[in-house]
Amino acid sequence: MKLFHKMLMTGILGNLTLPMYAAQWEVLPDTPPIPANNSQSEAKIKLGQTLFFDPRLSSTGTVSCNSCHNVMAGGDDNRPNSVGVEGKTGGRSAPTVWNSAFLSVQFWDGRAPTLEEQARGPVTNPIEMGMSDWDAVVKRLKSIPGYRALFKAAFGPDNPITADNAVKAIAAYERTLITPNSPYDRYVKGDKKALTEQQVRGRNTFAEIGCPACHSGPNFSGPQLTMGSGFYMTFPLVPGSKYETKYKLMEDIGRYQVTGNEAHKHMWRIPTLRNIALTAPYFHNGAVPSLDDAVRVMAKTQLNKDLDNAQVQDIVAFLKALTGEFPKQTMPRLPGTPGRSVIP
């Protein structure tokens, strides 16, 4: 983390311009990084998908992973903040689960090094899925007969229903949530008709003004780093813009909450730009309603640039070309508990 961050900070703090990288345009790989201790398998993915869609992982039986990370849509909930059990809400906006496997850390503040650790969080967060602890989750899963077979198929017969295995399965499923073949990817692969003239112009502007300093790599979320590394930037970086108050950008101190390091105040993990057109409203607090304004905010707060309307529209057109193909999925069957409910 530090290497990348310092490099950027030096460039910016020196003269308020970012170092110009020669933009490298990369297509999305078919498969993301897979951790050595959690190889993919059909059985694990099936279990993970079932858990992902099962609202019984929440105290009230009403909130599943998919409630806030809707894979039938852009992988989020199109809300400024999400609604957990009993109508509770928090201050941050749900990031997309699509292509999250390409991020080297998870959550807006990077507090989870892997998808496995990310999946562990919301289930027992009191304002999200509200389970008291993972023991209670495991107890509930063990009381659902059909999960025995699913966990056994994924993890073998020896005490398969555990919190570790549950989050491994969810992460394995999430590693299948990849959206290839966006117009951008097809263009990079050689189909020069895949982007409109405006989109090509937008891509050039995107590169010229310095966006790829952070939004680089195949996932537009920075270079592909070792899992757990993290690629962060301060936001807002250029102080004093009108957006700070308009969009309450200073209220959440970001990664500082995790590390207690002063240098990490208002520092955030670089989010992906893939499918960004589908995940309004924008930023960690979901305060910016439109992609147009999100582009203006970024240009001003990160690059100290005031874009004209044509530039904004061009970049937005390019960003829309990052919407990929969503793989068809069969709905899971949630195993039943014949004759009773596990929801209190």
Segment near its own copies (CB under 8 A); pick from 10-18, 66-74, 220-228, 233-241: 66-74
Cα separation, 214 vs 232, whole angstroms: 8
Q: How many residues bind its own copies (CB under 8 A)?
A: 47
Tell me: does residue 331 bind its own copies (CB under 8 A). Answer: yes
Per-residue binding letters, 301-330, with its own copies (x by CB under 8 A): ---------------x---x--x--x-xxx
Which of residues 41, 60, 176, 196 is near its own copies by CB under 8 A? 60
Report the site for its own copies in 143-202 (rule: CB under 8 A): none
Which of residues 8, 57, 65, 83 is near its own copies by CB under 8 A? 83
Tell me: does residue 117 bind its own copies (CB under 8 A). Answer: no
Neighbouring C-beta atoms of residue 338, cutoff 10 Å: 7
Specify the DSSP class assigned to residue 285: T
Give strand pairing partners of 231. none
The values of phi and psi at residue 186, to 5°, are -65, -35
Instruction: Pick between residue 68 and residue 166 the one whose CB is nearest to its own copies.
Output: 68
Tell me: does residue 289 bind its own copies (CB under 8 A). Answer: yes
Nearest C-alpha neighbor of 182 from the set 275, 117, 260: 275
Cα separation, 255 vs 108, whole angstroms: 8
Catalytic residue numbers read 128
Tell me: does residue 71 bind its own copies (CB under 8 A). Answer: yes
Segment near its own copies (CB under 8 A); pick from 73-81, 106-114, 161-169, 180-188: 73-81
Which amino acid is present at 248?
A: K
Tell me: does residue 72 bind its own copies (CB under 8 A). Answer: yes
CB-CB contact of 187 with 320 (8 Å)? no
Query: CA angle, 30 as apex, 27 and 34 as ends, to 5°?
Result: 115
Query: CA angle, 139 as apex, 138 and 145 as ends, to 5°?
Result: 95
Where do contacts with its own copies occur on this chain (CB under 8 A)? Answer: 53, 55-56, 60-62, 67, 70-74, 77-79, 83, 85-88, 277-278, 280-281, 289-292, 316, 320, 323, 326, 328-334, 336-343
